[in-house]
Structure 1
Amino acid sequence: MKPWDGIIPEEEQRAYTASGFGRRSGLGERPALLIIDVQYRTTGTRPMPFWDAIKEFPTSCGEVAWQAIPHIQRLLELFRARGWPVLYPHVSPKESFDQGRLADKVPALMTVARQGYDFVAEIKPRDNDVLLPKKHPSAFFGTPLASYLIDLKADTLVVTGCTTSGCVRGSVVDGFAYNFKMLVPSDAVYDRSHVSHAVNLFDMASKYADVMTTTECLDALGRTGQPQG
């Protein structure tokens, strides 16, 4: 069963298939892992129902974040074992000069306590991981991400984190535009809206990325690439 089954009507799914959308493109030989915005401001400091979580951090996605974290951990373990690169696009603490269109649209972004920007301990960066502060949804926009990936000779991006409809999708579309093979583990990304999560996974799977479970992703990664040391 796909994450979008029961949300995207079967007739619409058939229409996409009939039009030739949704073919998998496969993986390359040099994958890199993106862990986007998995910070306490999007998860809360512990698993809580959404309406409780937003009392701690208004930008929290609630329990769905903590359901995704173990899957991100599994991917991270494989990348660590293989010596494959891990990159952390993330939002740095907001300052007064960070006012912009996004702050106009979502003022709560400017009120997050500084500790909310800490990386979740279970998947926090290690030495030699690449940290990429960003101001906008896409991990590529206004950052040196493309330059790092070229230096690393990466050809495949495994994209995890949040939100599925925002920073994950924006990064996937831009990565696709840069001609990277894009892979999205559907249970290793999260969103405060189940409908937006499902619809965006369907759209990415149709046009921009291979979308599969973490287990399927690990199996595919296990058959490709070489340890990079």
Structure 2
Amino acid sequence: MDEEHQQTASTWPQPPSFWKDFTPDSVSRFEDLQKETAERLGVQDPSTIRLENLPRELRNLQPPPEPEDGAWRVFSDTYRLQNELPQLDDGQIRRLFPNSEERDQDGKHFDRATILKRLAKSLLLNFLELTGLLATNPEAAHEKITDIRDLFINFHHLINEYRPHQARESLISMMQSQLDRTRAETNGIRDAKDKAERVLEGLSSLTIQDQAHDTSLEKDDRYGPDGEAWAMLME
């Protein structure tokens, strides 16, 4: 029981020990070496320089170089610098639509929306045929299941080709929202500025006599209807 609990408690590995090398003193020394090397080589950005023959305590502060083949493994999964969409031919999957570089016979451009609609209709038709085969001849349903599998894979592959377009549209929408928010804040600042200028213009138009008159009125209001008599007595 204790061994089982110990295995469950240590599922995640401990952090690597080189985090102790990232001290303020080491980081400052590493940045100074980068600046000195950049000045000697005439490079504008010191962070792009890769230093050689670093001391042992500063080696972990420099990121490792990019893999030569453009691929690396993390937790048994392979990642690539260029994340390309795998082709259907590479997985020996039957392609049910033409390549994006090709065109239809009538000369129109490659339309993914029309092909997606056709694949959706084909999926519904093949599913109905599959239900009929399962009722009459279940042994012959294997070929129809393979057709449905190919339809789903082609459908999913065609949707994945929309990902770059989706990313661009999402970025455009996010930037447009940020622009609208900035414009609204700018208009609010301008409105507050105009209001402050109108208030200052109103205050600057007041003369000393007007201010004295306003002060006397305030005194009259303060002492009620006998304010004038009280003011005469005070004089």
- Per the normalisation by structure 1, the TM-score is 0.17
More helix by share: 2
Q: Of the two structures, which has the highest relative contact order with CA contacts closer than 8 Å and spacing of 6 or more?
A: 1
- Per the normalisation by structure 2, the TM-score is 0.16
More strand by share: 1
